[in-house]
Amino acid sequence: LLALSFVLVLSTRLAAGMSMTAVEAAPRVVGGSATSPALKHAVLARCSTSDARVCSLELPHNKLELPIFMPVGTAAAVKGLTVEEMEALEVPLILGNTYHLALRPTTELLDDCGGLHKFMGWRRAMLTDSGGFQMVSLLKLANITEEGVTFQSPSDGSKMLLTPEKSIQLQNEIGADIMMALDDVVSSTTPSRERVEEAMHRTLRWIDRCISAHSRPQEQNLFGIVQGGLDLDLRAQCCVELVKRDLPGYAIGGLSGGEAKDQFWRVVYHCTQRLPANKPRYCMGVGYPVDLVVCVALGVDMFDCVYPARTARFGVALTDEGNMQLKNKKFKSDLSPIEKDCKCVTCARFTRAYLHCLASKEQTGARLVTIHNIAYMMRLGERMREAIRADEFPQFVLAYFEKWYPDGDWPQWCFDALAQVKINLPHPPKEAVKKEKKKESEDKPTKVEGE
């Protein structure tokens, strides 16, 4: 099915006269202005080889540095963790979902409480998705028109009309530091260029409605989302039009939905080359550690995904040497921590043998592995920032890939993407296709509803 989807997308692109191999670098956009009193952004350091950079981002509830990974707390909680544990892990920014929060506990209640921050006791920064992703994840329960999207609740069957104006109203009530505009999201494997183009143009019409509906610009920041599927021309057109709106930040949406990774990185690079250098760039739904490293090299600043928490519940720990399947019998008597250099409470106090005993069977095991996985993602961001500051990011990338792929079987798409920004892995992949498929089958990350 994936092969068929790729063939359909490839045929569509070729019919439109587009190249699958060439990635056009646009002239770097450096214009723009400080468009929001609720956001201060500055580039602190740049990699002299790639497009990686370190930025400061000051928001109403917190000041942080980019690149950063945001854990997903869809319904006012990251599964299994308390806000105190998130603070101890030095998480500066989390994500919530407007659609789910509107259903439960309802934004009216959140507004009465003074916003989601007070409701859940979170004192740091927060970003809310607009509800647009549910057009894909709940497609069978959604009806999309120019007015908005009508969802049928998967729990009680009730209907909700989510318009751009309603999405912004809900997010104003939630009170997140960063709000995402409602966009028309289609699956990245959609073969119809006509539908993709319709969604891109509708996204642009909806951004203007979102801007008009935004009632708290002094306190909250509205980010636009680049759509256009896998069509580089549509992506470029969407970037140009969104940049004209001079928004506080921009996101690359509509990816991580099953498209070939060779298409994924080309779209990401195509967009980062066309988005302003003085604004945050956010790649939505990306959570594989290797994907983060590559996308940072391509110029992305922010990421989110349910993957680190979700995969923990299946007994999978994230490490520099790849995914550790703690359910594997080889860990039954292993008295070492998940990672010796990790300072999280899980690695400080518990052994692989203990976690093997609990993995995917006890809630305690899921919590402990989740703590480690979130700590790992925070530490990965910190190490990348340190490497960029020291102008040693290419060396960091090479060392990271040599540990993750000790046999040199890194995927071809990684090799090509990094080469695009002048980071050259030592040699072409060795049996990359076969080995990559094996890794993906062991624990494939997916966007999961209701994380």
Residues noted as catalytic = 129, 304
Tokens, residue 77: 């909680």
Give the DSSP per-residue string, 99-164. HHHHHTT-HHHHHHHTSHHHHHT--SEEEEE-STTHHHHTGGGEEE-SS-EEEEPTTT--EEEE-H
Beta 302-305 vs 68-71: how paired, if at all? parallel
**What is the strand order of the sheet 221-226 is part of?**
68-71, 302-305, 281-283, 249-252, 221-226, 178-180, 125-129, 93-97
* DSSP for residue 330: G
Looking up tokens 């000790």 gives 406
Tokens, residue 289: 């550690």
Cis before 67 (ω within 30): yes
**How far apart are alpha carbons 300 and 29 in whole angstroms?**
14
| CA Rg value for the chain | 21
* DSSP for residue 70: E
Please compute, for residue 376, the number of CA atoms within 13 A of its CA located in the half-sphere on the CB side: 29
* DSSP for residue 25: P
Report residue 125: phi and psi, to 5°: -75, 155
Which residues, 6+ apart, have CB-to-CB distance to 148 below 8 Å? 161, 162, 163, 164, 166, 182
Beta 322-325 vs 249-252: how paired, if at all? unpaired
Rounded alpha-carbon distances, angstroms, from residue 123 to 96, 173, 381: 14, 17, 21
